[in-house]
Structure 1
């Protein structure tokens, strides 16, 4: 783990794994949003650096970064990971999020995505950059619509190296 972390300066430029990506400017809130779809159809949406959400090809939440903490799916719950640094060591603290807390968090994800989708539909966002001249926003809008049809679902747990 790096000792010193910095905020990403250019999320759009750093998002090289996307086959198609967009950078939006929201003048009302003086903010940027970066969204992209990878070759394996995973979708990522960065509301600045925090929060950000990552979905698999079936529109299930795989990972998120919220309030400075990484959230990772374990199929039926999320593990919240937080780095605690001292001069001597770095410790990764884990806390499981489930039950009512999970429902509330997934509700917040749904709300963020719904606002984003509505802003897109109402032309309240300006595309400042895109990966292709003909990057069709319909692709992104379709994914958002599919995600928002149902409560946010969790992707299956990531495979681990431990046995």
Structure 2
């Protein structure tokens, strides 16, 4: 979603579920949008595709990659496919085999590796954030330091519901 300036601006303005969010511009002018929910869950948008979403425990919970949506169940990644049948929209889930799962994890590692390299080499710049640059930069660096490699796969795609008083 961050390849075009308009997409980046829309995401920064409209992603209110991610109160801490910003745009990292890498050396090749590739933009990565990262956002965090109040519970610490993270979403990473490498342009419009791929997108990786994590729960507060750094577990991978949703992916959008190469135009395909993925969810998780029982610690495994599922490919989601929509089809219309009899005028009704149906969602089917297909469990990935280990090689397909590894391909998605490799894609994550490649994309986040470019961000980590840029942060370490200081070849990036922040371009827009919902909070101070110092705050988002520290949050991203700490999140990356705490992230297991490879990231574990969550048991469920949904985040826990917030309790209201």
Is 1:141 aligned to residue 141 of structure 2?
yes
Q: Which residue of 2 aligns with 1:11?
A: 11
Task: Report the aligned-residue RMSD.
Answer: 2.4
Gaps of 5+ in 1: 1-7
Please give the alpha-carbon distance, in whole angstroms, between the structure 2 residues aligned to 1:140 and 1:26. Answer: 14
- After TM superposition, the runs of 4+ consecutive aligned structure 1 residues lying more than 6 A away are none
Mapping of residues 14-163 of structure 1, within 5 Å: 14-28=14-28, 30-84=29-83, 90-133=89-132, 134-147=134-147, 149-158=148-157
Q: Shift of residue 89 of structure 1?
A: 5.4
Please give the alpha-carbon distance, in whole angstroms, between the structure 1 residues aligned to 2:12 and 2:84. Answer: 29
TM-score of the two chains, using structure 1 as the length reference? 0.79
Tell me which protein shows more helix as a share of its residues: 2
Q: How many residues align?
A: 150
Give the 3-state SS of the residue equivalent to 1:17 in structure 2: coil
Please give the alpha-carbon distance, in whole angstroms, between the structure 2 residues aligned to 1:40 and 1:113. Answer: 21
